[in-house]
Amino acid sequence: MTVRVVMSGDIRVHYAQFYVRSGYEFADLEGCLAGQRNGLCGAAVSGALHLVTGLHTGSVGLTVETHDAEPPVGEEWEEVVEAPFRSDGDTVLADWDSDVAVPLGLAAGDYRVRYCAVGMDEGHAHDTRMAGEPEVDRYLLQFWPAPPAPDEVIRQTSLHAAYWHSVPATLPPPRDRAEIAEADRRARAQDAVLRQAAEEIETWGGRMPSPRLRPLHGNVISLAHLDRDLVDALAEADPATQRRVTRWAIRRGYTEAGLADIDWIVPALAAVDSGEPLPPPFDDFNAAFGRMLSDDRVRHTTVTGPDGRTDNCLQQAMALPAILAGQQDDPLVAAADALWNTAVAFGHGRYPVLFDEVRAVFPTLGG
């Protein structure tokens, strides 16, 4: 008979449990015990094992072996149970936190698993093993190829094991548990849908976004928090109107900030109006920004951000990026970007004036 020792040492447990997972399958303890005879090795869910210990928290001694045939039961073990187990070829031993995941090297197929224990009552009484304390309870886990067969209690001597062997009879049968689990899954899915809807409503300023708005982000959402009706109207406008709004908003922001008549800025605004590429220095926005800051003819005025929380924003710096909106491929994004930057340049308390103006100029937006 060939035996391979996969591990021999300590494994951390909590709530008196550790796990074996095939394909990192997870199932709760009750689900793994439902319909079984034994309560120490929960194997009712394919690909998952829940192993119960006496110790509640800390480390227990554990040896894991694989065999090519059924091994004899050692006389030293006080508790012995067996159960079926199916491996998908990626089976690991995992501690409570899954910080330790030891590959077991089981090929895909059906196995018999034997779980043996000694000192379970002592471990249960000890409750928690601190670092440096001697071992209290010890366990052996053995696997060998075998066709599926019902689980069995081979040996039981401790009160702790007797208690756990009584647990499966108190649980709903597997079919009922499956129905409960499916109802819970549906409830969780519905709850997730409702949470997502609530998050979208909050994100988009008070109501669900339309399919046209939903994939967008950035300044479109920021603008929605200032005037959601305006954003909805923009989304419903045709692309030609959206482009006209973009051009109008850029020039309006530059006018508000005193930039529209600066000689090196005039050609850039003309390029926006004609749909041409931006001329120097706007072909390098950092260069344009630096020139704006160094030009003595550009006045420096400050505004408060639209949300009223940010003071002393340089109005000209807030307005300047609006010109980049004209380079956006999506005309709705372009219009929202231009309006947002211009709204920031108008500042808190004055941005509604901008929105009134754009509605007056473009009546289809709600003027």
Residues 145, 268 within the same domain: no
Residue with structure tokens 């019902």?
Answer: 150
- pLDDT cut 90: percent of the chain above it: 74
Domain CATH code at residue 10: 2.60.34.30
| DSSP code per residue over 23-61 | TT----HHHHHTT-S-SSEE--STTEEEEE-S-SBEEEE
Residue 269 resides in a domain: yes
Specify the pLDDT at position 182: 73
**Average pLDDT, integer, range 297-323:** 93
- What is the pLDDT confidence band of residue 307, given thresholds at 50, 70 and 90? confident
Report the number of secondary-structure helices (H) and strands (E) in the chain: 12, 13
Whether 14 contacts 27, CB under 8 Å: no
Residues 88, 60 within the same domain: yes
User: pLDDT tens digits, residue range 260-303?
Assistant: 999 999 999 999 999 999 999 999 999 999 999 999 999 999 99
Distance CA 21, CA 90 (A): 8
User: What is the pTM (predicted TM-score) of this model?
Assistant: 0.55
* Nearest CA-CA partner of 345 in 327, 320, 324, 362: 320
Residues 8, 73 within the same domain: yes
Residue 212 resides in a domain: no
Q: How many domains does the chain have?
A: 3
User: pLDDT tens digits, residue range 151-160?
Assistant: 999 999 999 9
Distance CA 59, CA 93 (A): 14
Residues 177, 70 within the same domain: no
Helix intervals (H) in 69-170: 120-126, 159-166
User: pLDDT tens digits, residue range 71-120?
Assistant: 999 999 999 999 999 998 889 998 866 666 789 999 999 999 999 999 99
User: Which residue range is the domain that position 187 belongs to?
Assistant: 173-203
Residues 87, 156 within the same domain: yes
Phi/psi region, residue 133 (left: phi>0; alpha: psi -120 to 50; beta: rest), is beta
Specify the pLDDT at position 239: 96
Distance CA 273, CA 249 (A): 11
pLDDT of 26 higher than 60: no
User: pLDDT tens digits, residue range 7-19?
Assistant: 999 999 988 888 8
pLDDT of 135 higher than 90: yes
Whether 180 contacts 146, CB under 8 Å: no
Residues 163, 189 within the same domain: no
pLDDT of 122 higher than 90: yes
Please give the backbone phi and psi of residue 175, each rounded to the nearest 5 degrees, phi first.
Answer: -65, -45
Distance CA 218, CA 334 (A): 11
Residues 357, 233 within the same domain: yes
- What is the pLDDT confidence band of residue 24, given thresholds at 50, 70 and 90? very low
Residues 300, 347 within the same domain: yes
Whether 63 contacts 5, CB under 8 Å: yes
Residues 22, 156 within the same domain: yes
**Average pLDDT, integer, range 151-174:** 92
Average pLDDT, the chain: 91
Residues 197, 344 within the same domain: no
Residue 109 resides in a domain: yes
Residues 187, 225 within the same domain: no
Question: How do beta strands 58-67 and 138-145 pair?
Answer: parallel
Max mean pLDDT range (44-58, 195-209, 241-255): 241-255
Please give the backbone phi and psi of residue 80, each rounded to the nearest 5 degrees, phi first.
Answer: -140, 125
Residue 162 resides in a domain: yes
Residues 239, 143 within the same domain: no
